[in-house]
Every structure is written in C-alpha cells, then in structure tokens.
Structure 1
C-alpha cells in the first residue's frame, strides 16, 4: 500500500531572489522608470514621478542622518496614511535606520510600551487625525517636551526618545517640522548617506511591526531588507503588476498589508502607489479608482462590502480595475463574485500570511478558478517551504489539519529584545510556527481551518485576547476576566469579555468599555461585556473559552 503524501510544499521558482537593500531597489527602479508616476496622494494633492520620489526619499534620508541619528537607530512613525509615511518607509532603510510602525489607533498605554520596547530615538507624528490628538497624547507621556529644545528631549517615561518630528507646516515646542529635514540635507549629509549606504547589508533589520501575542504584551517582529523586498516582489508577481499599473491602497501603511502588499509590491515593479485618504472611506476609495483610473485595489472583505453597498456605488466607472488583493479574513464567495463582476476585478487574488513572515506565504493567482480563490488561500509563494505538523511535530498527511509552519527568506530575524519568545516562535530548524491550523490538498492549495491560538480577527485587525485581559486586570473592580471572539456579520468577529468583579463591587458594560477606550485601540475595546460569577472549566482547571463563545452565540441569536 502506498504511503500518504505528506503536507509539505516548497515554492520552486525560476525567478531568483533579489539581493538588494530597500535603497538599492529604489535606486534601480527609479532609474529605469524615472518618468513613470510613483506616488499619488489625493488628500494632500501630492503627485510624484519616480525621479522626484527618489529625490525626496534621498532628501529625507540625508536629513535624518543630519539630525545625528546613526545606522541601527529606531525611528517610529505614529500616523495615518500620508505621503510622508511612504517617503519615510523608503528613507529610513536607505539611511540604515529601522522604521518602527506604530498603529495610529494606539493610546497612551500602547504607545509608551512600543516606544520603550524598541528604544525609539525619533518619532514622526501628525498634530492630530480625526478624534486623535497625537501631540497632546505624547505630551501626556512626555510633559518635558514643551520645554525641550528640538532634538534634546529628556523624558522620564520615554528615556530613549530624543527627536519629535511633526507632520505639520509649523513646529510645536520641542519638535521639528517635517519640512526642516530638507534644510538639513546639505552636501555633508548626502556624503554621509552615501557612506552609510555602502556599508549596508540586505540582512540588516529595517522594520519593526508590533504584533500582540497570546502571552500578553505586543511583540516587535523585526524584518530585514531581504524579507520585505522579496515578499513585495513576489506579491506583485502574483498580481502580474507592471509599470503601467496604478494600485489604490486604502489599507493602513502601519500594517504589512499597506506597506508590503501595497507600497513594496508597487515599487518592485515600477507601478504607481495611489493613496485615497488618511483612513479608509468607501466613497473616497471609489472616487479615487475612477478619477485615477486605478488598475488594482486592495482591501479586507469589510472594505469591499462597504464599497459594494455604498448608495452611490453605481455612479462610478470602475472599468479600469483588473486586480488587487483581498486578505485579512475569509472572503464570502458572494462578495468575491460581486467584486469580480461589479468591480471588474477578474484577477483579484487572495493572500495569507503573518507579520513575522513578511507577511505573505500563500497567494492565489489570476489563473485559479474563482472557487479556489474563496475556499483556499492559494499555493505556496516562491522560495518558501511550508509544512503542516501535529502536536508532536510530525508532518500530517495531505488533507489532514496541522499547524502551519513556514521556512525561508521571509521569516523574521526575531522579536526585538525578546529571545525567549523568538525561540518559542522559530524552532531550531528555522521553522516559524504560525499557530494556524490548515490543510493542504493534492494540488497544494492551502485552507486555513482554525487557530491554535485564540486570536480574534475583527475587520482585518488582529486582536489578541491575552493583551486585553492583562489590561483589564488593572481595573480596580475586576477580579478575573476572559476575552474571546464571537461571530459578527459585518466585522467577521467582535470582541467579547466575560468579567468577574471583586466582592462587593458593581460595574456596568459602559464603564468597562470606557476604561478600555481611554487606553486601547478602538478595535480592541470589547463590543460585548458580560458579568459572570464563574467561567466554565475543565476538571484540571483550564478555562473553556469555546463554551463561553457558544453561550454568547446562543444569547445573541435569541436576541435576534
């Protein structure tokens, strides 16, 4: 009797890996496509071809070095989607600096942790966006800023932070305005930039992205030039991008979706990055696709649903579209059909990955049947290996579920300053353990069937219950808490918290939510709060979250 086929695949490819830094990539592409459009940011009236984009990136890189920042220093960006974000994405690695992506929804608790965990020397931020007053929030953490000279901040709660760069026309006390970087970029700064670039290696760290863990505090996944340049390249290959494409990117840059699947996929192919606005808005996205004749559009399923359901959807000519990526959570087949038929995106692809793997490991291609682009996440990316293993680490047969493990160029260097959690994630063989349960079929298509970890995916945002639980333990009335996800028609999942209060205390759902809202990103705030006397437990004392989830599903169904 023949042995079953093991759940192991590798991405054989005739296209070699790129051995370039981010800066060298941009130098090469800008020289080849100097007159082609590179960046359009409609909200700011920004339009740059590759010649000007390259020059602006170099100006910012030289300016950063002129501030006294040294290769290896970390530069945080806490901002929504703007032209400056894209420039900094390419300027920081050109100068040998490590860009630290900070979620614009972060509040004080999360911001303080992120800046200190990786020792940010500089922070770039706008004065405000919507209801978030970034500079005021930073001032609460660092009241010393108001009396500090630019570049000389000494804050008790942020001991490593020295420079605060404001995305505004005018600086505020203790800060520099973004435009000042240009004035600093003199001949000496450019000479320093050339010297730094000559000494860079594509294995140097270039980007830190925070990904919360089930063990609590966020972890700083550290990615290299090699990681993200190559992942961006092969993502663009799967989309069949060329220099004639114009990709609308309404997904956030702080996340790999915007930064790698969007910006780097474009730049590796000389395509144009089109940014519809600072945050997602269905109407502005539709307007942008029409006015800019975009050929591609990215989004999580909830974004595509919002666009399709917009009352003015029928007014827009979207016939220029052909491709894009839908990722972040499973896509309902009816939504995919409408995207293909009504938005003209016949070549839309599905991608799967995680921040720690740069991020994409699997992706569909335009030749895949529509059903495979919905019931699977495609086949393994070039130059990567994937295996599915059981609890003992043995590879399972095809068709059986196992934990998805990835190995290859895409695997991060590790979690910044956290060797123990790095060892938990990456084994001695170099395999990144994702925590996702998956199956592989005979043709190599992968289906994600569940999670070993209890991560919640709310509207494309990864939410980790343990982080919220540990924060809620700081509430003086909370004795114990369990956080889990419940199904939601709009967002895929919503956050639910079951809370046990201390003896003699009372609290309301709104009180718990308001406490979270002041300190945590909006998508982490529990949508449902229930006060209970106990949690369902196993005989060995382990909490059974699946029983809580089932109980909440029944309760919500009964409420209609």
Structure 2
C-alpha cells in the first residue's frame, strides 16, 4: 500500500546521508541542510505529534507556510499520519482562510511562526486547534508507523477558482502526486546527482508536484528560497552549484537584470531551467540561455492535472511559443465544439487524460462532472492547437483568467469582493499587458451616482479582503460598462490598451 512519503523512505534507506533539502534561516541567513535520513526521522516524529494531538486518518489539515524545509516536514508528516494536506497561500487574508477552513472542513491549522495573525484568528473563531510551525519543526522524539493509503485516497486539496463561483478544492490523490514525481523525473532526466533549486511557493501545484515530488522521486537535493529575490536566487545557484532551476518567466527576467557581467562559465553546472505558470517571451528565453548557459524547458499543466500535461522534449529543445508534447502516461487532445479531435493547426479546446488528472473537486459533484467525463478526460477550458510533431501551443487562457507573475488571479473572485462595497454598482476585472508581470489586474467600476468613491478606497477595500497579488493596480471609473443584448458585460469591448498605459503611472506592488 503506497504513501506519498515512499520516495523519502526509499532514499533514506539506500542513501541516508544524501542531502534532501537546503534552506536559509529567516533570521540568520545560515544555510541548513537536511539529509534524507533526517527528513524521514523528523517527518515521522512530526506525524506522531499530530496523531497524539488527535488527528485522524482522512482529516484535512490547513498548512500555511513559505518555501522552507519545515513546510516539507509538516506536509510529509501529514501524509505519514494518513491525513490530507490543504496548503494555502501565505498571503491569504483571514476571509480567504476562513472560507477554506469551512469548505474543506479542516480539523487542524498548521501555521509558520513568522506569518501574520490571519490563520490563527480564523482558526480561533472556528474553535480549531492551531499548531505553530517553527524552525526545526519542533517534532519531538516520538515515532509512529507510516500509514498505508489507497492509491485513490486524497493526499492534498489545492484550492483553485474557476471563472465563476467560489474557489474549488481540487483533490489530488496519492497516485496523482506519485505519478507527478515519476513524470517529472522522466521529463527532466533527473538523477540522484542533481541539485534542484527554486523560489516557487510549495503551496502551489508547480512547486509542490512538479518540483518537490520530482526531486524526492529522483533522490536528489532541493534548495529552497522562501521568497524570490533575483540576487538571492543567483547566489543560491552559485552557492549550491544547482543543476536544475525552476521558476516562472518573471523570475528569469529579473535574474537577467541582476546577473551583471556573469559568464556562462560561472554556471557551468546548470543544465536546465524549467519554466511554467505563464508564456515565456522569446527574447527572455534567448537571453537567459545565453547568459546562464542552460536550456529552458517549458511545460503546461493545471492544478487539476497535478501540474503536468505537456513538456518540452529535452532532446529536441523548445519551439518558441509552444509548450511541448504530452508527458509520459498522459494524452492531450484539442477538440472542436462538437467534441471531435482537431487536426494539426486547428484551434480548439484542450483536453487532458492521464495519471495526474485529479480525483475531482472536493464535495462538488456537479462542478466535477462539468470538467471530468466518465473516461477520465479533463476539460481545461483553454484554447490551443497542435502541430505535426504533437506539440501544443496555448492560444488563450481559460476564459478571463489573469496570470500575474505566475500567480492565477480569477476575475470573478476579485469582482465578488469589490461588489460588496456599498458604492460599487458594476465592476469588470480584466487582465492588461504588463512588461514585468506579464499581466496586471485592472478593475473598471461604475459607482453610485451620489458617491465620492475613489481608487484609494477601492484599493484599501480589496487589500483587506484579498491577497496582495489579487488587488487591482489599475482602477478606472466609468459611467457604464459595455453590454450585450442580454445585459452581459462585454469584457472584450473594454479598451485594454488605454488601461495598460496607466500602469507606468502607478507604484508597483509585489505579487
């Protein structure tokens, strides 16, 4: 019977002294290294503490922590205990955390000690126990057997919004996440000698499934940066002699501007950089590969497909504007409106089937049925086209989804918050082009005729209720929004170019 902890156990038995993780201390900056033997021991001890506190098999545990080794310990401890990890963004507000606690029916909250009070206040209000996650994980000496799971058991619930409605919890199974690790190894050709590094958040499917699970499946080491900083990322690349780097396009662009006069020889050990989360501009690809002397490989996947769908063939290399072909154990189809497979070059909707497709949305059978058919095909809502090599090109993202610096921002969620303001009559949230983040969040608002509502008040209202990267940076007031015959707001009729010109006039915020 499997457990998501199996790769760690396997390498702890065969190569106990191999470094599994490296991370910097938040206060001292000192680098800590955890071997596979240590990771196994501390994770099992942490699980014992969770079980002693009353955690039951199948209980949902909200985990909120940055990308530090202790996140991995807590995450794996939850798996050892047979419970379900529910990781959330460290920038989540109390309102957002409260929603997840309620929807997932969480039994426990684990929160990193240095974060604000959002998680603890939400937990206290619901009468839930809180466990503070500190450096070293405070696991104690007790141990417990690793609990066996069925392959179809839910191992993690990751919350993602569609383009309508409240966030939905994608149930990723033990089999999904183990398969993600195996697929990642096959695509990147990772081995035990690799040294992977990232500043991606481990609460996100990219960092969690594509990076963390791939690293532990290969038995290699994972260097973690808790918060992205281009200079720190470049320093980590040099310090740990990384062979694999994972990130989003804004990271590569920022690193280019801090690398100075670096020569590719400075990074001779770096063989690949794995990019995802948003489309990678051709100019950035070319310059990054020249400066850092490596190959950038792009992939395409979703939370609901455990981060995997397509990946660039490491032998053929990347085609600019394309995201590779179907990964191992995966099938990709582009279908027309009648559900028939499209020939190459014909645009249609992308469907994915394979070992990494989710079990379904948590307690949402109708939403699950809308995207997942009886044969296991997942309807992505994205438009794309294939070529004669089977490579995929993304033509448009799912409806109105905004991707800001690699983070998904769902307009309906932002609109719902803005609509709660008493002086907002109508609102449309859209993405506008941005040279740094790829897209920026803009809100076009119709206010009450007698109100004095301004952009600062709207921004403050949103910031109290949404993570920082979801807050509109561009806010414009209009007398009316464009509508169709049925009264539906026509977002495509909004002048994005005019809005985009205002970006440079506003102070930049970090995601």
TM class by shorter-chain length?
over 0.9
Secondary structure at 1:75's aligned position in 2? strand
Report what 2:88 is aligned to.
102
Asked if 2 retains the 8 angstrom alpha-carbon contact of 1:286 and 1:313, the reply is no
Deviates more, 1:311-320 or 1:27-36: 311-320
| Deviations 1:125-171 (CA, angstroms, capped at 9, x unpaired) | 12334xxx2xx3345435xx4xxxxxxxxx4xx25x2x2111237xx
Gaps of 5+ in 1: 1-18, 146-154, 170-176
Whole-angstrom CA distance in 2 between matches of 1:40 and 1:558: 38
**Which of 171, 179, 182 is 2:140 aligned to?**
182
Report what 2:189 is aligned to.
240
Report what 1:122 is aligned to.
108
Report what 1:22 is aligned to.
4
Post-superposition shift, 1:271? 0.7
Larger Rg: 1
Residue 261 (str. 1) matches residue 210 (str. 2): yes
Post-superposition shift, 1:549? 4.2
Post-superposition shift, 1:312? 4.6
Post-superposition shift, 1:407? 1.3
Residue 167 (str. 1) matches residue 133 (str. 2): yes
In 2 relative to 1, CA 285–481 (structure 1 residues): closer, same or farther, beyond 3 Å?
same
Post-superposition shift, 1:430? 2.0
Residues matched between the structures, number: 501
Whole-angstrom CA distance in 1 between matches of 2:66 and 2:503: 37
Gaps of 5+ in 2: 507-511
Whole-angstrom CA distance in 2 between matches of 1:504 and 1:22: 58
Report what 2:14 is aligned to.
32
Residue 271 (str. 1) matches residue 217 (str. 2): no
Report what 1:10 is aligned to.
none
Residue 431 (str. 1) matches residue 412 (str. 2): no
| Deviations 1:82-141 (CA, angstroms, capped at 9, x unpaired) | 111011222211221100011011111111101111011111112334xxx2xx334543
Asked if 1 retains the 8 angstrom alpha-carbon contact of 2:176 and 2:355, the reply is yes
| Deviations 1:514-555 (CA, angstroms, capped at 9, x unpaired) | 111111011110011111111112223222111114453575
Post-superposition shift, 1:77? 0.9
Post-superposition shift, 1:558? 11
| Deviations 1:36-69 (CA, angstroms, capped at 9, x unpaired) | 2111112363212212221122111222112110
Asked if 1 retains the 8 angstrom alpha-carbon contact of 2:73 and 2:137, the reply is no
Post-superposition shift, 1:384? 1.2
Report what 1:391 is aligned to.
337
Report what 1:84 is aligned to.
70
Any residues of structure 2 matched to 1:275-424 within 5 Å, and which?
275=224, 277-310=225-258, 312=260, 314=262, 317-346=266-295, 348-370=296-318, 372=319, 374-424=320-370
> TM-score, structure 1 length as denominator?
0.85
Whole-angstrom CA distance in 1 between matches of 2:281 and 2:474: 24
Structure number with higher relative contact order (C-alpha < 8 Å, ≥ 6 residues apart): 1
Residue 542 (str. 1) matches residue 491 (str. 2): no
Whole-angstrom CA distance in 2 between matches of 1:258 and 1:350: 14
In 2 relative to 1, CA 552–428 (structure 1 residues): closer, same or farther, beyond 3 Å?
farther
Residue 510 (str. 1) matches residue 468 (str. 2): no
Whole-angstrom CA distance in 1 between matches of 2:11 and 2:64: 28
Whole-angstrom CA distance in 1 between matches of 2:380 and 2:342: 16
Report what 2:416 is aligned to.
470
In 2 relative to 1, CA 379–520 (structure 1 residues): closer, same or farther, beyond 3 Å?
same
Asked if 2 retains the 8 angstrom alpha-carbon contact of 1:102 and 1:254, the reply is yes
Deviates more, 1:297-306 or 1:61-70: 61-70
Whole-angstrom CA distance in 2 between matches of 1:289 and 1:380: 29
| Deviations 1:164-219 (CA, angstroms, capped at 9, x unpaired) | 111237xxxxxxx941x315x25xxx2xx34x33xx21211000111122113111
Asked if 2 retains the 8 angstrom alpha-carbon contact of 1:403 and 1:452, the reply is no
Asked if 2 retains the 8 angstrom alpha-carbon contact of 1:247 and 1:324, the reply is no
Asked if 2 retains the 8 angstrom alpha-carbon contact of 1:404 and 1:433, the reply is yes
Report what 2:37 is aligned to.
51
Asked if 1 retains the 8 angstrom alpha-carbon contact of 2:434 and 2:500, the reply is no
Report what 2:509 is aligned to.
none
> TM-score, structure 2 length as denominator?
0.93
Post-superposition shift, 1:363? 0.2
Whole-angstrom CA distance in 2 between matches of 1:550 and 1:267: 43
Report what 2:122 is aligned to.
141
Asked if 1 retains the 8 angstrom alpha-carbon contact of 2:347 and 2:384, the reply is yes
In 2 relative to 1, CA 97–230 (structure 1 residues): closer, same or farther, beyond 3 Å?
same
